[in-house]
Amino acid sequence: MALPAQKDTYGCVTADSSKIRHLSDDEFTSELKAALERWTSSRVRGIWFHCNKLDSRFIPILVEHGFEFHHAQPTYCTLTRWLPEDAPSTLPKYPHMHIGCGGIVVDAEATEGSTMKPCCIFQGKFLLMREKKGHYLGWKFPGGLADPNENIYESASREVREETGVEAEGVAVLSFRQVNAAQWKNTGDIYFLIVMKPKDESKKEVTPCTVEAADAKWMTRSEINDLPNELFHSTLRKTLDTYDKWVASGSKGLAMEQTNSPIRRHVQMCTFAVDFTSRM
């Protein structure tokens, strides 16, 4: 039998171990050699081989025949091989950026220390928390890594809820930062800060997460201004300055619109664009 593989529009083929699970190691080796000769002669450029964890015995054979690891998930790993010897590989790398989201949650109560007009619903208390462990243990906006299949508003909402117990909804993206270093080699981090408001102003009691949070509470701007730098980082103060400018502008800012993807029609796409219309 010929090793089954599916061609794509980029001149590559994809094989799946689950379709040849019945082969012995010797049979698989023989089929793989024949397939490599066939694909090379037919000018196939790259090979993607998805290996289920039930078929992990195939991995040493693939490595022996020039395949390299591309990525791994709990139930499978993917190996690749680039065939053209006269051209560098153009196979895309596995995603190498983590996405994190934090929520700048502000209630609708006018408080002392705010520089905004009393009519503004975004000049109330700020929801802050402190981590139990980590490199920075001062006050910060609740947040963390996004989970699969979440948009950044959903990620921020979940993180705020998990760490403080407050249900909040996204209003606009205030800012984001990028760091080209993360927990694993060759990975980076993009962290979004989302302006948020409580879903229900009558239900905003703080219940800090007993596992992650050392403390969490609503704080006025005056209380935040009185915090020493070791308890409220200078970067966060700059974030509040940016927040003040956004509020003063009166515009909606970088707001989210949900549409369908033009490429994958049944996949929801979130578009973020500057909206200069008034929030009022």
Q: Each residue of 2-21: pLDDT tens digit?
A: 799 999 999 999 999 999 99
pLDDT tier for residue 279 given thresholds of 50, 70 and 90: confident
pLDDT value of position 280: 66
Q: Is 79 helix (H, G, I), strand (E, B) or coil?
A: strand
Whole-structure pTM value:
0.82
Band (119; pLDDT cuts 50, 70, 90):
very low
Q: DSSP for 193-251, please give it.
A: EEEEEES-TT-------TTTEEEEEEE-HHHHHTS-TTTS-HHHHHHHHHHHHHHHH-E
Average pLDDT over residues 70-90: 96
Structure-block tokens of residue 24: 């012995």
- Taking only the tens place, the pLDDT of each residue in 222-276 is 999 999 999 999 999 999 999 999 999 988 888 888 887 777 777 788 888 888 8
Per the structure block, which two tokens stand in for 55? Answer: 């078929």
Q: pLDDT tens for residues 99-117?
A: 999 999 999 874 444 444 4
Torsion angle defined by CA atoms of residues 158, 97, 171 and 130, in that order, rounded to the nearest 10 degrees = 50
- Of the chain, the percentage scoring pLDDT greater than 90 comes to 75
Does pLDDT of 22 surpass 50? yes
Helices (H), 69-207: 152-164
Strand 46-52 with 76-82, pairing = antiparallel
User: What gap in Å lies between CA 25 and CA 92, rounded to an integer?
Assistant: 29
Can you tell me the distance from the alpha carbon of 134 to that of 99, in angstroms, rounded to the nearest whole number? 18
pLDDT score at 112: 44
CA 259 to chain centre: 19
Q: Which residue's entry shows tokens 């081989």?
A: 49
Token readout for 30 is 């023989």
Mean of the pLDDT values across residues 119-143? 86
Q: Strand, coil or helix: what is 202?
A: coil
End-to-end CA distance of the chain: 68
For the chain, percent helix, then strand, then coil, each to nearest 5?
25, 35, 40
DSSP structure class, residue 208: -
Asked if the model's pLDDT at residue 183 lies above 90, the reply is no
